[in-house]
Chains A and B, each alone.
Chain A
Amino acid sequence: MIEIRDLVHRYDGEAAVDGVTLTVDAGEWVLLAGPNGSGKTTLVRHCNGLLAPDAGTVRVDGVDPIEDPVVARTTVGMVFQSPRDQFVAATVGADVAFGPENLGLDRDEIDRRVADALAAVDLADRRDERIDALSGGEQARVAVAGALAMDPDYLVLDEPFAGLDWAARRSLLAHLDDLHAAETAVVLVTHDVRDVHERADRIVGLEDGRVAVEGPPDEALADLAAIDVRVPE
């Protein structure tokens, strides 16, 4: 379980996240929605120790991500906005292997993880291709595979649909459905819950760094529009 209690994070003295309490259970699908500047990205970066809280606590399966970042980063996989920014290698296979290599795993295990992660996003036959030769949707899937190769229990995706056309969104969503069916918890950060709200077990709406809405989709949708989140008409 990811447990966030009374989390506060400030930039230059101004609170971007202001007293948020939130839990994500194993295998759950949570939509984290909110307009630009509501603190979504700041909040999720605490989940694997990329940011340290100014106040409050974060625990991932009981572990403080700041004290043990390696455990946190193998338990929580992160996929950022603009996948292009997180690629560290020129080819698909080399990039997906980057995380497992950092864990010091043996070569056979790394190869197995890369193969499994690419198979999970339907890119098994693209392993040797250059990333910059792939379409935007395929690059988004490579980014997901890079996170999956860490063998995470929780997958956090920060606005993964930005810049993707409908076909690419649908393809990525189908892969997320498969991962969720395989017991991986999915936390999807978005400012637009259309297409995705039906998949969620729970929707959490942020406004000005605070939780403004929380509940199952059928209850939360009506309140999301009030905080400038696009909802189905």
Chain B
Amino acid sequence: MIAYAPGETVAHRLDPRSKVAFQFGLAIFAVAHATPRGLVASFALALLALAAARLSPLAALRAYWVVLAVLALGPLVAGLAFGPPWFRAAPALASLASVLRIVPIVLVSAAFVHTTPVRDVRAAIQWAVPGRTGRLLGVGVGMTIRFVPVVRGDVAASREAIRARGGDVRPFYERAGGIALGSVRRALRRADALSVALRARAFAYNPTLPALRFRPFDVVVVFGALVLAVSPLLPGLVP
């Protein structure tokens, strides 16, 4: 699972707002340029983002394998037919082209999570969405980013506990039930403990957040993001 890792890479030094802008720009670009060249350009930009974060593309793909597996269902379902020949290549390929456009966006989001502390994400959200809504959104997103890896760890621990006592010989549905129940129990217990810990440390919806700093290189990234965002209006950009 990708989680924030402290570092000194180019991506680490960027303001979170620049990184969000780049993600938006790339998403617009990837959706608008549905050609093979557009796809290649999207992947190239995503690989550039991963390189700036010093994050291996394979690690990013592995971390999001569940998302990718769900995406892969799209072309399979699109190709199915209720009668001979049962599977048609043309709609499956069209769906595949759509699905592939999402992969670079997923890769860039991996780079974002890998290089952005949760508090900075929250600060960026509260900057973009002022007031109570932004505070609630910031808390929600911050907690989610922080605790998804923890919950996944709980699921892995439940799975290991079942295997350690020979539970892997049991039918799949029994194992899945055991893992689900064990994980939910752990998650609820952890939520209780966390709630007490938050109160003990005077949890506030409006804490002092880190100062966001816009550096010269952020200007370059935001300019690039703008170009990507308006690229559908620049037909000559990707032939």
A residues in contact (CB < 8 Å) with B: 45, 48-50, 69-70, 73-74, 78, 80, 82, 85-91, 94, 97-107, 110, 128-130, 146-147, 150
Flag B111-125 by CB within 8 Å of A: 1 or 0 each. 000000111000000
Q: A102 to B4, Cβ gap below 8 A?
A: no
Is B203 in the interface zone, CB < 8 Å from A? yes
Is B207 in the interface zone, CB < 8 Å from A? yes
Is B103 in the interface zone, CB < 8 Å from A? no
Is B70 in the interface zone, CB < 8 Å from A? no
Is B5 in the interface zone, CB < 8 Å from A? yes
B contact residues, range: 20 to 34
Q: A106 to B208, Cβ gap below 8 A?
A: yes
Q: Which residues of A contact B119 (CB under 8 A)?
A: 89, 94, 97, 101
Choose among B3, B5, B118, B207 the residue that contacts A104 (Cβ–Cβ < 8 A): B207
Is B198 in the interface zone, CB < 8 Å from A? yes
Most chain A beta carbons < 10 A, residue from B196, B202, B203: B202
B residues in contact (CB < 8 Å) with A: 3-6, 117-119, 146, 190, 193-194, 196-204, 206-211
Q: Which residues of B contact A146 (CB under 8 A)?
A: 201
Q: Which residues of B contact A91 (CB under 8 A)?
A: 4, 6, 117
Q: Which residues of A contact B209 (CB under 8 A)?
A: 101
Q: A88 to B202, Cβ gap below 8 A?
A: no
Q: A103 to B200, Cβ gap below 8 A?
A: no
Q: B208 to A150, Cβ gap below 8 A?
A: no
Choose among A69, A94, A129 the residue that contacts B202 (Cβ–Cβ < 8 A): A69
Question: Which A-chain residue is minimally distant from B189 (CB atoms)?
Answer: A85
Choose among A48, A78, A88, A147 the residue that contacts B146 (Cβ–Cβ < 8 A): A88
Residue pairs across A and B with CB atoms within 8 Å: the count is 90
Q: Given A80-B197, A86-B200, 19 more contacts at CB 8 Å?
A: A49-B199, A50-B200, A69-B199, A69-B202, A70-B202, A73-B199, A73-B201, A74-B202, A80-B200, A85-B193, A87-B197, A88-B146, A91-B117, A101-B207, A102-B201, A102-B203, A103-B204, A129-B6, A130-B4
Q: Which residues of A contact B204 (CB under 8 A)?
A: 101-104
Choose among B196, B203, B211 the residue that contacts A80 (Cβ–Cβ < 8 A): B196
Q: Which residues of B contact A80 (CB under 8 A)?
A: 193, 196-197, 200
Q: Which residues of B contact A73 (CB under 8 A)?
A: 199-202
Bound Cα distance from A177 to B217, whole angstroms: 48
B188 CB, nearest partner CB in chain A, Å: 12
Choose among B3, B194, B208 the residue that contacts A105 (Cβ–Cβ < 8 A): B208
Question: Which A-chain residue is minimally distant from B119 (CB atoms)?
Answer: A94
Given A90-B146, A91-B4, do A78 and B200 touch, yes or no (CB 8 Å)?
Answer: yes
B117 CB, nearest partner CB in chain A, Å: 6
Q: Which residues of A contact B117 (CB under 8 A)?
A: 89-91, 94
Q: List 8 A-B contacts (CB under 8 A).
A: A49-B199, A50-B196, A85-B197, A88-B146, A90-B146, A99-B202, A101-B119, A102-B204
Q: Which residues of B contact A106 (CB under 8 A)?
A: 208
Bound Cα distance from A88 to B203, whole angstroms: 11
Question: Which A-chain residue is minimally distant from B199 (CB atoms)?
Answer: A50
B204 CB, nearest partner CB in chain A, Å: 4
Q: Which residues of B contact A101 (CB under 8 A)?
A: 119, 204, 207-209
Question: Which A-chain residue is minimally distant from B200 (CB atoms)?
Answer: A78
Q: Which residues of B contact A82 (CB under 8 A)?
A: 193
Bound Cα distance from A43 to B5, whole angstroms: 38
Most chain B beta carbons < 10 A, residue from A82, A86, A107: A86
Q: B207 to A107, Cβ gap below 8 A?
A: no
Q: B202 to A89, Cβ gap below 8 A?
A: no
Choose among B4, B198, B208 the residue that contacts A88 (Cβ–Cβ < 8 A): B198
Question: Which A-chain residue is minimally distant from B209 (CB atoms)?
Answer: A101
